[in-house]
Amino acid sequence: MINKPIEELTFTVFDTETTGMSPDKGSRLVEIAAVKIEPNLTLNLQNRFETLIDPCCDIPYQAYAVHGISRAMTKGKPKAEEVIPEFIGFVGDSIAIAHNAGFDCKFVYHTLDKCQHSHSFTKIIDTIGLARLAFP
């Protein structure tokens, strides 16, 4: 439970792009991006984290059709095992926000497990429930 007014909180809004639907079936991250919303609900576009990720595999056309990220764009970029611990550091103790957070977190946590990194989000808001309430 958070006992602070919303104006005093810091949020990190993030999204991932992937090669498929399940890291357990070999799908990989190809991009992660985040931006901070600072106290007083100030969006600071200078305080952001964004990087393409080399999945070390082909990107299926179905995934490319969704996000427009090609294998050529990711080749030679950092690996997920390098990027995700940095991303967790960027989030820090802020409240993470994602749309369909279960999907994004599945890939983040899978990568953290692979690199034996013990940190994860302490607080997360999934906006999919809010969207379903607002747009039934």
Query: How do residues 74-115 score in pLDDT, each as one tens digit?
Result: 999 999 999 999 999 999 999 999 999 999 999 999 999 999
**Is 43 in contact with 37 (CB distance < 8 Å)?**
yes
- Topology of domain 6-134 in CATH is Nucleotidyltransferase; domain 5 (3.30.420)
One-letter amino acid identity for 73?
M
State pTM to two decimals: 0.94
**Is 100 in contact with 15 (CB distance < 8 Å)?**
no
The residues with which 55 forms a beta bridge, in sequence order, are none
**Is 59 in contact with 18 (CB distance < 8 Å)?**
no
Q: Which two tokens stand for residue 91?
A: 């989030």
pLDDT digits (tens, 9 = 90+) for 57-68: 999 999 999 999
What is the Cα–Cα distance from 132 to 136, expressed in whole angstroms? 5
121: confidence class by pLDDT, cuts 50, 70, 90: confident
Strand order, beta sheet including 11-18: 42-52, 29-38, 11-18, 95-98, 124-126
